[in-house]
Amino acid sequence: MHVKTLGKGASFMVLSRVPAFILLALWAGISLACLPAYSEESPGSDSLRRGIAYCDEVQFDEAINELTAAIEQGLEDKDDLIKAYRYLAYAHLAHGEKDTARYYLRNALNLKPAYELGRDEELTPKFLEIFAEEKEAYLRVWFRKVTFGLGIPYASIKGRFGSRLSGEIRIATSYNIWTYGLRGYYNINPGSRTVYYWGLEWDTLTFIREIEGFGQVLMPFAGLEWFVSPKLAFCVDMGVAFITLTGGGKEVYATQWVFNLGINHTVLSAP
């Protein structure tokens, strides 16, 4: 940490700058660690293949058993999990269980909002109908989920709007500074286990105790959110902060690399 002094009665504490290459290396390392290992199949891959084969052979009881087992055993690849949900929906609809079929189609759309059925697939008119209804219903839901976050050193509440856009309110404190900020996110690959994003943050800085003055921060950022469960995720991002500090009749302008690490918990989500 270093102190910027703008005149009598106005000092501003600013976090020490960390070399950019260290932050870039750390961000890249976390990104690589969150990527799935493609050299090994997921534990549920065999059950998934058997379940799809049973569906093709119109053995829907066996298909449901195998596809359910595949999900329980674990499917690391998002596309495999979507396949499991899609075939489960088809098998349950064949049994006349329309509500259960809709449930699994919603799960598939939550993972991939742009998901479409293959044009070469031989599907019943009823299945095509309920898929179209669920997709239309999904796209009509504008406000999708609310998340609480804790990080170093901030607390936040975040809402997702549609499939790719999110907004967040943040409060942070460090030494003698309170920070209140707004963040806007664009999620590049929503529904994945590791979601990459970029965005823009705007903050106001309020100084307490003997220090007088205020400041503003504008920061573009990029990062990722790694879901360890549907409701719990670790997030990490970094950006370049453009800082304006005012006090004692003077202004100071600075740029600084900022690194954020936190954990998010979803408390409310659309069905």
- In order, the DSSP letters of 236-269 are EEEEEEEEEEEETTEEEEEEEEEEEEEEEEEEEE
Q: Which domains does the chain have, with CATH numbers?
A: 2-36+142-269 (2.40.160), 45-140 (1.25.40.10)
pLDDT given at position 120:
62
For residue 110, what pLDDT is reported?
A: 78
Whole-model pTM?
A: 0.60
For 171-217, how does the pLDDT look when each residue is reduced to its tens digit (9 = 90+)?
A: 988 777 888 999 999 998 776 778 899 999 999 988 776 566 788 99
- Point out the residues of the chain with pLDDT beneath 70: 1-41, 119-120, 140-144, 191, 209-212, 269-271
- Please, are residues 13 and 177 in contact by the beta-carbon 8 Å criterion? yes
Residues paired with residue 179 on neighbouring β-strands, in sequence order: 172, 205
157: left (phi over 0), alpha (psi -120 to 50) or beta: beta
Distance in angstroms between the alpha carbons of the first and the last residue of the chain: 46
What does the pLDDT read at residue 150? Answer: 93
What's the pLDDT at 263?
Answer: 94
Rounded to an integer, what distance in angstroms lies between the CA atom of residue 151 and that of residue 237? 11
